Structure 1
Amino acid sequence: MHNVADNYLRAIFEGSYLTGKTSNKRLAGLLGVSPATTTEQVKKMCQKGIVISQRYGAISFSKEGERQAIQLIKKFRLCEAWLDNELNLPLEQIASQAWKLANFDSQLMYDQLNEQLNYPSKTPFGTDVQEPRLFNESIHSLNSLKPQQKCKLAEYLDNSKVIGYVQQIGLKIGYGYFAEKVDRDFDILFLSSKEGQQQMVSRKVGKYIYVRVLE
């Protein structure tokens, strides 16, 4: 079972993906704990030199923290690829079970599993297996789209709530979409596919859905 530090490394990575920083509120939401709890744990991680708590509450990795997080995410995503390729589990189960399986510290096990799977490049959620990065200039949050922009869905957060939401509204990796408009009163982004189907995407979830903007 992962320790508390592992859970926080993953959550900070996911919460600061593409931006390099996250907030105490977002971190608490990802972990399902109170902001007071995250404040205390982040303080401990700051003392160990793993994270940096900046002015106005911004939380980011130190170089060492980012290194540790990427090593952890590599094992996690390799296990996701393994469960998808070998067992064909439902997506929600893939994410939760892979996290449990990724709690190993054997480099030999990692290397042999990677070789056995022929070095998979992507998880079923579109994320990089071999070289996960905190910054990726080629992708953007769905929420960054402007009306009339076209995009292709690249990846999304492997969180059970996000997975369930993406499946429910029918978004698919690799498919092209067109941003029609944003309703800021209800915080909804209206997308349409080339087949003419329209999806309403909550911008609360949209910050964890990532696209490649098309010219």
Structure 2
Amino acid sequence: MGVADLMRFAKVQLASLMSINGAILYSSHKTLKLGPIYLLGLNPGGNPNDHPTSTIANAIDELATREKNSYVEERWQYRCANRNKAASPLQKRIIYLLAGLGCDPKEVCASNLIFVRSVDASGCGYPSYADICWPVHEKIIEMVKPKLIIAYGNSGVSPYAYLRSISGHRTPETYQPAGHGNWQCKAFKWNRANGDDIAVVGLPHLSRYKIDKISNENEVVRWIRRYADL
């Protein structure tokens, strides 16, 4: 499948969401190729009123030309202050994590389980919007063929919980202390119907989980590398 095929498929699959505010890729169109990692958040954050032209329809049209990486090259508001590029805590932690896994953050294909933007998780439409968006992710996974999906957010409403659910719970979970209270990192091996095996790692949400500050930060990164055989 090429990018043009992905765009055609997305326009059909996401027809009911076309006028809604949101985003599809958080990375450049150049990451729609073979790569070791697929990074998945819950949904685009922020107030939709601050992104008036960012509709799902426009996001599909930009799939072949998008150059920016949202984590590395965008200025995000944090606590009502405009900051420099990649200066928000979430952006810094994503960059730290991917670099620790031996990847250039700009080269990692990144998206969100749900493409619809909302101020917080309660407005993201989980899981109904996830059911609509997931077939598009399947097409992206066909293009990237990742060894590892990193889902940041592993609570009951999270990309990790959704992936665990659609996997059918056929393989056991593995746990690793997150180094923050009683939080846990979670993982399972997803034996997919097409024969591919993908390691899925679920981290506590990186807007709150200070993976770059915890005492055992290197052990968490080493655990991910061992689990996914990176």
TM range (shorter): under 0.3
Relative contact order, higher structure (CA 8 A, sep 6+): 2
TM-score of the superposition, structure 2-length normalised? 0.27
TM-score of the superposition, structure 1-length normalised? 0.28
Structure whose residues are more often helix by fraction = 1
Larger-gyration structure (1/2): 1
